[in-house]
Chain A
Amino acid sequence: EAQVTQNPRYLITVTGKKLTVTCSQNMNHEYMSWYRQDPGLGLRQIYYSMNVEVTDKGDVPEGYKVSRKEKRNFPLILESPSPNQTSLYFCASSLAANYGYTFGSGTRLTVV
């Protein structure tokens, strides 16, 4: 089944403790992206990747890092999480930026 898989689905962590949210797609898509979703603010892009080893900042990149060492994986790294990064995170992939995205099921992160 074609899908985007994120892990974990839920995570509670403490301020400053580094964490990684994994994202993997099995559709051989070149384009991948991370979004965060907050009440009243909608979906905002954090980082995106046009292809392997090519990443760029979205609208809200502060406090996040990404890497794209292989086409299928696009992990989101929070080096020192803070409470304002408490949010619902979605990974998405697509053939290209101007095609429909397939989204993962989301990761609900709480930073205390």
Chain B
Amino acid sequence: GESVGLHLPTLSVQEGDNSIINCAYSNSASDYFIWYKQESGKGPQFIIDIRSNMDKRQGQRVTVLLNKTVKHLSLQIAATQPGDSAVYFCAENQAGTALIFGKGTTLSVSS
């Protein structure tokens, strides 16, 4: 079936490095994508979103890139900090009824 997935289940970086978390989606009709951060014991927290009419969107220290040709989504975190350690999920909107979530990438930041 159609699903959203992530390339790597874990990513380890040093404090101050830039992090890139990748996600592949399979439904070319999806038109809305979101990245969420989930810290231990908490609910998912919205980071940034992007619609399919855009290729790139920037927030504070984060950038989301969307490549519709290869159905790929990425989240870039600049100057990664220990507080960025969490599980990151991408999600896509299909048919305007529900977000479908990928299984998550665990980001570990060491100082």
- Nearest B residue to A90 via CB reads B43
What are the 9 closest A-B residue pairs judged by CB atoms, nearest first?
A103-B43, A43-B101, A42-B103, A100-B46, A98-B93, A98-B32, A103-B44, A98-B96, A97-B96
Among B45, B96, B102, contact of A103 (Cβ-Cβ < 8 Å): B45
* A13 sits at the interface (CB 8 A): no
Count chain B CB atoms within 10 A of each CB in A40, A50, A97, A106 and give the residue with the most. A97
Min Cβ gap B48→A in Å is: 9
Among A41, A45, A105, contact of B42 (Cβ-Cβ < 8 Å): A105
Min Cβ gap A43→B in Å is: 4
User: Which residues of B pack against A, CB within 8 Å?
Assistant: 31-32, 34, 36, 41-46, 49, 89, 93, 96-104
* A33 sits at the interface (CB 8 A): yes
Min Cβ gap B43→A in Å is: 4
B102 touches A101 (CB 8 A): no
Instruction: Take A40-B103, A97-B93, A100-B49 as given contacts and tell me if A45 and B98 are in contact as well, using a CB distance cutoff of 8 Å.
Output: yes
A44 and B98 CA atoms in complex are apart in Å by 10
Count chain B CB atoms within 10 A of each CB in A35, A43, A44 and give the residue with the most. A43
Instruction: Take A43-B89, A97-B93, A98-B96 as given contacts and tell me if A106 and B43 are in contact as well, using a CB distance cutoff of 8 Å.
Output: yes
